[in-house]
Structure 1
Amino acid sequence: MKNIISLVAILIIAASCQETQKVVFIDNAKVYEEYQEKIDLEASITKRQEDFKKRTDSLAMAYQMEAAPLQAKFNNLSQQQQQTNPEIVAFGKKWQMIESQIKTQEQSMQEQLENNLKELDTHVEEFIAAHAKKNNYAFVLGKNKSGGLIYGNESSNITETVIKEINASYKGKNSSTETSSETEEVTEE
Structure 2
Amino acid sequence: MKTLMYVFIVALGTLACQQEKKIGYVDNGTVINQYQEKRDVEDKFQAREEAFTKRADSISKAFQLEVQQTQIDARKASQKKAQELMQGLQQKQQMLQQQMQFEQQQLSQAFQTEIDSLIIKVKTFVRNYGKDNGYTYILGTSDAAASVLYGTDENNLTQIILDALNAAYQKQ
Aligned residue pair count: 170
Query: For residue 155 of structure 2, what is the amino acid of its counterpart?
Result: S
Greater share of helix residues, 1 or 2? 2
Other-structure match for 1:114: 112
Q: What per-residue deviation string (whole Å, max 9, x for no partner) do you get for residues 53-99 of structure 1?
A: 001111111111222122122136576542224xx555555554443
Root mean square deviation of aligned Cα: 2.3
TM-aligned CA deviation for residue 8 of structure 1: 2.4
Runs of 4+ in 1 over 6 A off after TM superposition: none
Task: In structure 2, list runs of 5 or more residues that go unmatched.
Answer: none
TM-aligned CA deviation for residue 149 of structure 1: 0.9
Q: 1:78 to 1:12 in 2, by over 3 A?
A: farther
Q: What per-residue deviation string (whole Å, max 9, x for no partner) do you get for residues 26-57 of structure 1?
A: 11111112111111111111111111000111
Other-structure match for 1:41: 41
TM-aligned CA deviation for residue 12 of structure 1: 3.1
Query: For residue 121 of structure 2, what is the amino acid of its counterpart?
Result: H
- Give secondary structure in 1 for the equivalent of 2:112: helix
Other-structure match for 2:132: 134
Other-structure match for 2:25: 25
Map 1:1-150 → 2, pairs under 5 A: 2-13=1-12, 15-16=14-15, 19-75=19-75, 80-85=80-85, 92-145=90-143, 146-150=145-149
Between 152-161 and 91-100, report the one with greater CA deviation.
91-100
Other-structure match for 2:166: 167
How far apart are the structure 1 equivalents of 2:132 and 2:108? 36
Query: For residue 83 of structure 2, what is the amino acid of its counterpart?
Result: Q
- Give secondary structure in 2 for the equivalent of 1:75: helix
Q: Percent identity?
A: 27
How far apart are the structure 2 equivalents of 1:163 and 1:14? 38
Query: For residue 53 of structure 2, what is the amino acid of its counterpart?
Result: K
How far apart are the structure 2 equivalents of 1:111 and 1:79? 45
